[in-house]
Amino acid sequence: MFTLAHLSDPHLSPMPRPRLRELMGKRAVGYFNWRTNRGAHHSVDSLSALVANMKSRGFDHLAVTGDLVNLGLPDEYGLAHRFLESLGPGDRVSMVPGNHDAYVRGTALLHIDMWKDYIAADEPSEKSGIAGTAFPYLRRRGDLAIIGLSTAIPTAPFLATGKLGKAQLLEFERLLKIAKDEHRFRVVLIHHPPVGRHSPHEVLTDAKAFCAAVAREGAELVLHGHKHKALLHKIIGPDGSVNVVGVPSASNPGSHPERGGAYNVYRIGGRTGAWSCEMESYGFAPDGGGIRKIRNVKLI
Ligand SMILES: [Fe+2]
């Protein structure tokens, strides 16, 4: 039995104080939005409590699906690296970036250098989906193949879209096939949800191509963030339906059943053709009684 934990969208705070010259264009809009609205939806105390609870439960590996920072300020990447280190070493934690991690062009690739231990492929490939980066990566852990994708691209103000790009999609499909031939339980990490109905300003623009790749080669589990909401969708693969699961923001202090701060734990066992996968969600109880199991779903 392999235990995989998943958290997403911590949107770490307190945000380092931006310099005036850093507050241009998209960052100015984002900073105003954070101060007047978004900031209230993310609590560092709630995040700490959730992470402590998750660590006390124990896991073999942890997936983090992006949006660690907010405005792409240089100092935010250091703060996020310290957060990643607090979760565990790079070989036990796999992360993929979100749209906020590539918020503006000037610092869009900073996460690749600053968080490299958490996105390093087992075998650095000569072919890479995004020039000069590690995506997509393949990591083998137990019977699992963890495939990490980047949808993080800088966009115009008010946009939170994501894109994989043709090169990354091609390599993604190749990795799915390699892992399938190795009879592994394939877990795909992606920030933007590849299925479901979403507003045009926040979609994955090449979601159809992603779903087509999964429909051809299959996968056992797809994990995402971005929506700050508990979600479950399916993609029809060659050997049955593939579960696509979204987790709420880990720093949301609320106890809403779908949007309250939570993390998921997957217990994975069996073998090719006879996998089992059970999901447990842990979040804040509505009665203020601390962190509890709020959902239990047998996915496979
Ligand atoms: Fe996002």
Fold of 2-298: Purple Acid Phosphatase; chain A, domain 2 (3.60.21)
Distance in Å, CA 152 to ligand 1 centroid: 9
Helix 74-87 / helix 44-57 crossing angle, nearest 10 deg: 30
User: Rounded to the nearest whole angstrom, what is the distance from the C-alpha of residue 70 to the centroid of ligand 1?
Assistant: 10
> What pLDDT is attached to residue 127?
54
Task: Tell me the pLDDT band of 155, cut-offs 50, 70 and 90.
Answer: very high
- Residue 78 CA to residue 184 CA, distance in Å, equals 34
Structural element, H or E, at residue 53: helix 44-57
Residue 130's pLDDT is what? 59
Distance 227 CA to ligand 1 centre (A): 7
Q: How many A from CA of 143 to the centre of ligand 1?
A: 29
**Burial of 187: CB neighbours in 10 Å, binned 0-12, 13-18, 19+:** buried
- Distance (Å, whole) CA 86 – CA 56: 13
Note the pLDDT tens digit of each residue in 32-70.
889 898 888 899 999 999 999 999 999 999 999 999 999
Q: Any residues with CB less than 8 A from the CB of 150 and at least 6 apart, and which?
A: 96, 97, 129, 130, 133, 135, 136, 164, 168, 191
Distance 75 CA to ligand 1 centre (A): 19
Does the predicted TM-score (pTM) go above 0.75?
A: yes
pLDDT digits (tens, 9 = 90+) for 192-249: 999 999 999 999 999 999 999 999 999 999 999 999 999 999 999 999 999 999 999 9
Rounded to whole angstroms, how far apart are CA atoms 290 and 286? 9
**At residue 132, does pLDDT exceed 70?**
no
Question: How is the chain split into domains, by residue range?
Answer: 2-298
SS3 labels along 224-247? ECCCCCCEEEEEEECCEEEEEEEC
Coil, strand, or helix at residue 203? coil
